[in-house]
Structure 1
Amino acid sequence: MSRMLLRDDQWARIERLLPGRTGGGGRAGGNDRLFIEAVLWIARTVSPWRDLPVEFGYWNTVYTRFARWSERDSWQSIFSVLREEADFEEVYLDSTVVRAHQHATGAAKKKGEQALGRSRGGLTTKIHVCVEGLGEAARFLLTGGHCHDVTQAEALLKDLQPGAVLADKAYDANALIARIQERNAKVVIPSKSNRKEPREIDAFQYRNRNVIERFFARIKQFRRIATRYDKLASRFASFFAIVASFEWLK
């Protein structure tokens, strides 16, 4: 039997959050816990779906169900409930660039923008994340790897009322700083070298920014996050949502 990841107490926390099949009769989807374990196995090992161990069930059945949940935003819904425990006394903004495998290309144009960008390193996807005070993801967005970090900052902070916002120099922009100050939040963002009048920051508090770096290090232990293999951005986002949810369960 393949190594399982979910403890009994973790399963008890998410069991009630799982959607059943809608429309028509039949069972609600078999062994839900085994299905979640199967998706986590794929995320952790980055094996092709066809190589899914037989104890998890027929690979195509598992994949089809995963895809159905992805289309319905079910993975994001689970993540949204778990992140309700977030502590917004401090929030951390940053992004990480993920190399796209050649299998991640070729999505039909009718599927829309797939969050892929071309740079000297090839095709990449950038994951923009807002991490809360407990060190877990509170919100995330996907863009092409060429997209500048600061362009997604306001979307990550939307509707939040943090006590302080910590980020690196990439987020040193007057418009963003003004938006943060309008929230009566403390700005802990160092000035760029070309700023005529550098702002003072709390250097001691800025040291806490390594919280988001540690978050990226943890989620990239799931190899499906460290490298993008999915053609559709929605599928890749679903994998990120389930891994971020798993982090909330620890």
Structure 2
Amino acid sequence: MARFDLTDFEWSVIEPLLPTKVRGVRRVDDRRVLNGIFWRLRTGAPWADIPARYGPHTTCVNRFNRWRRAGHWARILEAVSAAYKGDVQMIDSSSIRVHQHGANGDKKGGPGCMGRSRGGLTTKIHALVDANGLPIALKLTAGQAHDGRSAADMLDTLGDGDVLLADRAYDSDALRVEMAARGVWANIKPMPNRKRRPVFSAFLYRYRNLVERFFSKLKQFRAVATRYDKRDDNFLASVQLASIRIWLRHNESVA
């Protein structure tokens, strides 16, 4: 087994989640193709450089694109993350530098989720993670997007009795009121210029480092640490695939 290949345990989890409806010619070995996709994801190499042991690189890239269009990567991530620990959730974002090969964006769709920030042309990954630092929800925006406003549609998994941890970028009365209406305690670090400081637990806030650890794991996948994709949906699919692998590795470590 090569270095970045799926282990037997990981394959036993992911195999039942793969699409089963096959039209026309029977698909080539799914495990081999997925290993090729994960190899490219981990190394950040061009698709054409995928080693011959994974078959033709065109098979890997076509499978990646076809399953992205069909929503399979998002569906598989939703399936493996269904067992998340929801009592404490953390949200944060991380900026990804756009490589010059992806900087001109998709010709049909324009510069998808790319924007100017301190780091130059960047894409921002927003992530909501559970109490184990495992991803529940993911989103892309342009690099200059405001974290708090971008989080508005990412918090549906929070409910009565849960706790949300976030840094000052998410400190707003609107978010706090919305969370309180759902019975969620928003333990968000308040801005220093607030006149009325809300209740804040510095002890509990320390656990927010789990979302930072998630981004550290995510950026071990070089095709995520630097954005080479012109299309934002392709880059999001890469982030989803890396997140699937993080979930699989966690499940294997505790099995």
TM-score w.r.t. the length of structure 2 is: 0.93
Equivalences for residues 47-86 of structure 1 within 5 A: 47-86=45-84
Q: Give the CA deviation at 1:186.
A: 1.4
RMSD over equivalenced CA pairs, Å: 1.5
SS in 1 for 2:108: helix
Q: CA offsets, 1:86-106, max 9 Å, x none? A: 111000010000000011123
Report 1:201-212 matches (<5 A).
201-212=200-211
Contact 1:190/1:200, CA 8 A, preserved across alignment: no
1:73 is displaced (CA, Å) by 1.4
Structure 2 unaligned spans of 5+: 250-255
Q: Which residue number in structure 2 is paired with residue 12 of structure 1?
A: 12
Question: 5 Å matches for 1:34-183?
Answer: 34-111=32-109, 114-161=112-159, 163-183=162-182
Q: TM-score, normalised by structure 1?
A: 0.94
Letter in 1 for 2:17: L
Amino acid paired to 1:67: N
SS at match of 2:154: helix
Residue segments in structure 1 that go unaligned for 5+ positions in a row? none
**CA 1:7–1:160: 2 relative to 1, 3 Å:** same
Cα distance in 1 for partners of 2:178, 2:91 equals 14
Question: 1:3 maps to which residue?
Answer: 3
Cα deviation, residue 127, structure 1: 0.4
Instruction: Write out the 4+ residue segments of structure 1 that deviate beyond 4 Å after TM superposition.
Output: none
- Equivalent residue for 2:234? 235
Distance verdict in 2 for CA 1:113–1:157, change over 3 Å: farther
Q: Tell me if structure 1 keeps the 8 A contact 2:106–2:231.
A: no
Cα distance in structure 1, aligned partners of 2:46 and 2:12: 29
Q: How high is the sequence identity, in percent, across the aligned residues?
A: 39
Distance 2:169 2:61 in 1: 38
Instruction: Work out the number of aligned pairs and report it.
Output: 248
Q: Give deviations 1:109-132, integer Å, cap 9, x for gaps.
A: 532561111124221000011001
